[in-house]
Amino acid sequence: MIKNTIIFLFVFGILQISHAQESIENNAFKAGEELKYRVFYSSSLGNLTAGEAILKVEEWKESNSADNKSFFHITGIGNSKGFFDWFYKVRDRFETHIDQETLLPYMFVRRTREGKYKYDDDVFFDRENLLAKSRREIKPIPKDVHDIISALYYLRALSLDNFEQDSTYRLSFYLDDSLYHTTIKYISKGKMKTTWGWIDCLKFSPKVATGEVFSDEYPMAVWVTDDDNHLPIMAESKVVVGSIRMELIEYSGLKNKPAFFREKNKQE
């Protein structure tokens, strides 16, 4: 059930632009990068810390690979905190192994623990035969399909210089033995006030399925740093009751020196 991963998906975004399976120049991230986020829930009762999430990139070498491929092993961990941990405990873990040349995934691992809900899955992406092989299904896939974690890192590596305001872009990802197609809208460039001061950002809005969680097709705004790192720095979204906000609170191991900081007292 896709709705059971909504908090984690919100933290990391589902941001992947469809392209052919080819090498991509990655100037945005490297092995050793670690990002930590805090998630807040706001309602008429006030603001509450809902959870935390960590994204970590490591080097990984396939021992039996005949072509000596190099991979990134990316882990995403999401945990509920405070009142939410007592009310609805979340312990989610997602892992992906992506080719360092194409940034496409070859294996996706999911371990979901949300309240009484439990879901485990392992998906192997057979790129030669264009098949996704999970514990339960074998299904055909397009050659450029991503999982929910690899999608974010693929987008970060893309050149964003030619994005046009209000343009929409096609998205595809594989989750829960299903292939999803959606779009993401590029909104604008601007400055976002954060813990570190003013940051130059690019603003996106992914289209999501309406229903039990979201009442609007474009309820979410995601801000990515307008520099070589393309860090997801902040996200906000209205849900059926209240709203959710995600903020980057710690980072280490960036590929590029941060060049986006502004003085905290600088005015727009």
E strand or H helix at 11 = helix 6-12
Q: Among 22-26, 128-132, 216-220, 241-245, which range has the highest average pLDDT?
A: 128-132
Q: What is the pLDDT of residue 34?
A: 98
The answer to whether residue 258 sits within a structural domain is no
**Distance from C-alpha of 180 to C-alpha of 129, rounded to nearest angstrom:** 19
Instruction: Count Cβ atoms within 10 A of the Cβ of residue 177 and give its class: 0-12 exposed, 13-18 middle, 19 or more buried.
Output: middle
Q: What are phi and psi of 65, to 5 degrees?
A: -75, 120
Give the three-class secondary structure for 130: coil
145-194 confidence digits (pLDDT tens): 999 999 889 888 987 776 677 777 776 889 889 888 877 888 888 888 88
Helices (H), 31-147: 82-87
The answer to whether residue 156 sits within a structural domain is yes
59-75 confidence digits (pLDDT tens): 987 665 556 789 999 99
The answer to whether residue 118 sits within a structural domain is yes
pLDDT over 80 at 268, yes or no: no
204-236 confidence digits (pLDDT tens): 887 765 444 444 565 688 899 999 999 999 988
Q: What is the pLDDT of residue 252?
A: 95
The answer to whether residue 264 sits within a structural domain is no
Give the three-class secondary structure for 4: helix
Output the pTM of the full model.
Answer: 0.84
243-252 and 46-61 as β-strands: parallel, antiparallel, unpaired? unpaired
Q: How many domains does the chain have?
A: 1
The answer to whether residue 267 sits within a structural domain is no
The answer to whether residue 259 sits within a structural domain is no
Q: What is the pLDDT of residue 237?
A: 83
Q: What is the pLDDT of residue 53?
A: 94
Task: Measure CA of the first residue to CA of the last residue in the chain; give whole Å.
Answer: 42
Helices (H), 212-260: none
Q: Which residues, 6+ apart, have CB-to-CB distance to 66 below 8 Å? A: none
The answer to whether residue 8 sits within a structural domain is yes
Q: Tell me the residue type at 256.
A: N
Q: Tell me the residue type at 215.
A: S
24-58 confidence digits (pLDDT tens): 889 999 999 999 999 998 877 778 899 999 999 99
The answer to whether residue 268 sits within a structural domain is no
Range of the domain at 136: 2-252
